[in-house]
A and B are shown apart, each in its own frame.
Chain A
Amino acid sequence: MFARFGNWVREGQIWGSVFRHGVPRDRRTRAMAILTNVFLHLHPVAVRKSGIRLSFTWCMGGLTFFLFLVEIVTGVLLMFYYRPTVEYAYFDIQGLRATVTLGLQRELHRWGAHAMVITIWLHMLRVFLTGSYKPPREFNWSIGVILLVLTLLLSFTGYLLPWDQLAMWAITVGSNMARATPGVGTEGPLSSFIQIGGVPLVHAGDDARFGLLAGTFVGPNALLRFYVLHCVFIPVVVTVLLAVHFWRVRKDGGISGPL
């Protein structure tokens, strides 16, 4: 009965227009299932058997990507409820906790972010310990390092948004570092030499920290700046680099294995 209904669906025009191949039961249709699907064709059709063992890859790269997707979905859900201004930010989060039905998106978002930091480190550890950065995969390792940095920056910019004490002071500690950038931070080495006729060109109102916070302290401008970086700019850059990263995995010979 169900089998007959299933067959009827699979032989109909709608199914056939979506999946341009039969049920993946033999080699040809299974290959087609990968080749004709825009998402699945990130994969090659066939892979080395030992390459996909869980004990080899730990699945950490895949989980990092999956957690990135979780962050996008939960992040969009959070954006429905959140306004990045000093007046509203904290109380929007408080309201989200108190009144939104099934309001787990902040928990999922925060724990997903922490988990993503851990999985990306473990992914790097695995790639290092299997020597998978060696030729021909040198460049993809470099892309991966940039993605690691961007993941930390995503997490860092998101940390400010709840606008509570934890958020504000963590970002204060972090952004104070920018003040010490050599040459372009007020308290950085050699910055005092950059002056014209005794007028310093690098001061608290234009140094690296000012550029990061759009102000001399963690205030409303910093909140807006971090919000835009967190929700738009860094995710877009990460998405582009992810595309390069995945594409290069395939172009450089797929999952690594003994040569």
Chain B
Amino acid sequence: MMSSLLAAGSIFDTIKDGINALCQPHWFLILSVVALIVFLLGYRRFTKPVFAIPFAAVCIVFFLASCLDPNFVEIVKKADNVPIVMMMFAVSFFLWLAFRQAALNDEATENGQPLIEAGADDKVLVWPDLVYIELIALVLCTAFLVVWAIVLRAPLEQPADPNVAPNPAKAPWYFLGLQEMLVYFDPWLAGVVFPGLIVVGLIAIPYMDTNPRGNGYYTFKERPFAITTFLFGFLILWVVLIIFGTFLRGPNWNFFGPYEYWDLHRPMALLNTEFHDLFWITLMGRALPTESWAFVPGYIIRELPGILLVGAYFVLGPLVLRMLFFRKLYLQMGFVRYGVMSTLMLVMMLMPIKMALRWTLNLHYIVGITEWFLNV
């Protein structure tokens, strides 16, 4: 009865259409960023159980109601997608748990009361206090895994056939954030340089973060910049992109709303604006330069505006950021630390910048030296 109601009810269709529209990449990403900012600004209020419990309930009801939609459930119930649903709920829950404690701790510090984690001398014996926690966690984890293994069979598709490519061909789910980057960047950046820099950047975190506070307890107030930057990278540029890649990318890597049918014949997006066209043709009103000058080949001159733009971004970026926001941080960190930190941050921000350029100008490459496969 419920499903026939949903099929007939135009109000549900309107809601679904609205959500499909809001799940377009630009809206989804903008809304995620806004949600993150609102959450971080109001974490003391929003983590209170009186807000958090109804919010969780609404999310779960919304998710279950969505499962009545055949197109939605088709994607969500795919065996390999189940862990991603678990991850979304787990990440939300643990974010709440962390920020609830951060809120309590920050309030306690303001009132001169001890932290939740206070009491360094308060030691307990590992046997029995810790080994039993470990034992119980281990038993519960085993039980959970066994139930999961019984309920859900591991997928096994047709035998491998190099002549029949599935559409879409997707990387394993934890790499779908990288595959999503391929929409905006060439493989040498999305598949090699950016992953490498993510690893380098993560390793560099403790050596860049000179803030001595917030060591060993939950807090937000004492290290807002570090936490905001990390959460932006982890939640927006990793988890959200995985959600894109898993649930919203269909045939030909086209974007589909959660309640949309994955239509094989939807036309692919056109990418037809190059930065060199914008500069030379639209702005300068002339043809693309093709002549070489002295020993500089013509395509370098053609791409010079883009090269200068990217160069300026990385050379002037740290200076401008220092003048505008990071005056104190620069003094605290010193030249080398600040240089590394600001460069890594600018690399991270390339992704949202390129996304925005794609959505607004339909921009393909900023620097497009296709002759060398050197495209940004």
Once A46-B125, A48-B122, A182-B193 are accepted as A-B contacts, the answer to whether A117 and B174 lie under 8 Å apart by CB is yes
Residues of A contacting B90 with CB < 8 Å? 118, 122
Once A24-B128, A63-B137 are accepted as A-B contacts, the answer to whether A49 and B119 lie under 8 Å apart by CB is yes
- The minimal Cβ–Cβ distance linking B262 to chain A, given in whole angstroms, is 16
Alpha-carbon separation in the docked complex, A134 to B206 (Å)? 6
Q: Is A84 in contact with chain B by the CB < 8 A criterion?
A: no
The chain A residue with its CB closest to the CB of B223 is A131
Residues of A contacting B206 with CB < 8 Å? 133-135, 137-138, 141-142
Residue from A109, A111, A163 whose CB has the most chain B CB atoms within 10 Å: A111
**Are B148 and A111 in contact (CB-based, < 8 A)?**
yes
Q: Is A83 in contact with chain B by the CB < 8 A criterion?
A: no
Q: Is B57 in contact with chain A by the CB < 8 A criterion?
A: no
Q: Is B9 in contact with chain A by the CB < 8 A criterion?
A: no
Q: Is A201 in contact with chain B by the CB < 8 A criterion?
A: no
Alpha-carbon separation in the docked complex, A121 to B202 (Å)? 12
**Are A182 and B188 in contact (CB-based, < 8 A)?**
yes
The listed residue (B98, B118, B178, B202) touching A129 by CB distance below 8 A is B98
Total B residues in contact with A, Cβ cutoff 8 Å: 94
Alpha-carbon separation in the docked complex, A135 to B206 (Å)? 8
**Are B152 and A172 in contact (CB-based, < 8 A)?**
no
- The minimal Cβ–Cβ distance linking A64 to chain B, given in whole angstroms, is 10
Residues of B contacting A138 with CB < 8 Å? 206-207
Q: Which of A31-87 contact B (CB under 8 A)?
A: 31, 33-34, 40, 43-52, 54-56, 58-59, 62-63, 66-67, 70, 86
Alpha-carbon separation in the docked complex, A47 to B166 (Å)? 53
**Are A50 and B122 in contact (CB-based, < 8 A)?**
yes
Residues of A contacting B50 with CB < 8 Å? none
Alpha-carbon separation in the docked complex, A58 to B122 (Å)? 20
**Are B215 and A134 in contact (CB-based, < 8 A)?**
yes
Q: Is A168 in contact with chain B by the CB < 8 A criterion?
A: yes
**Are A97 and B83 in contact (CB-based, < 8 A)?**
no
Q: Which of B154-162, B296-304, B314-322, B334-342 contacts A (4 or more CB under 8 A)?
A: B154-162
- The minimal Cβ–Cβ distance linking A18 to chain B, given in whole angstroms, is 16
Alpha-carbon separation in the docked complex, A141 to B209 (Å)? 13
**Are A258 and B86 in contact (CB-based, < 8 A)?**
no
The chain A residue with its CB closest to the CB of B121 is A48
Residues of A contacting B359 with CB < 8 Å? none
Q: Which of B20-28, B138-146, B270-278, B343-351 contacts A (4 or more CB under 8 A)?
A: B138-146
What does the 1/0 interface line of A110-131 toward B look like (CB < 8 Å)?
A: 1110110110011001101111
Once A163-B159, A169-B166, A180-B191 are accepted as A-B contacts, the answer to whether A63 and B141 lie under 8 Å apart by CB is yes
- The minimal Cβ–Cβ distance linking A127 to chain B, given in whole angstroms, is 10
**Are B216 and A259 in contact (CB-based, < 8 A)?**
yes
Alpha-carbon separation in the docked complex, A112 to B213 (Å)? 36
Alpha-carbon separation in the docked complex, A168 to B137 (Å)? 35
Q: Which of B8-42 contact A (CB under 8 A)?
A: none
Residues of A contacting B268 with CB < 8 Å? none
The chain B residue with its CB closest to the CB of A31 is B125
The listed residue (A115, A167, A182, A188) touching B83 by CB distance below 8 A is A115
**Are A182 and B192 in contact (CB-based, < 8 A)?**
yes
Q: Is A152 in contact with chain B by the CB < 8 A criterion?
A: yes
Alpha-carbon separation in the docked complex, A126 to B218 (Å)? 9
Q: Which of A8-16, A189-197, A240-248 contacts B (4 or more CB under 8 A)?
A: A189-197
Given A180-B191, A189-B375, 6 additional A-B pairs, CB 8 A: A30-B127, A31-B125, A47-B124, A50-B116, A170-B169, A188-B373
8 A-B residue pairs with CB within 8 Å: A46-B126, A66-B137, A107-B154, A125-B95, A155-B172, A164-B159, A178-B191, A187-B188
Chain A residues near B (Cβ < 8 Å): 24, 27, 30-31, 33-34, 40, 43-52, 54-56, 58-59, 62-63, 66-67, 70, 86, 90, 93-94, 97, 104, 106-112, 114-115, 117-118, 121-122, 125-126, 128-135, 137-138, 141-142, 145-146, 148-149, 152, 155-156, 159, 162-170, 172-174, 176-182, 185, 187-193, 217-219, 256-259
Chain B residues near A (Cβ < 8 Å): 80, 83, 86-87, 90-91, 94-95, 97-98, 101-102, 115-120, 122-131, 133-134, 137-138, 141-142, 145-146, 148-150, 152-162, 164-166, 169-175, 178-179, 186-188, 190-193, 199, 202-203, 205-207, 209, 211-219, 223, 227, 230, 234, 369, 372-375
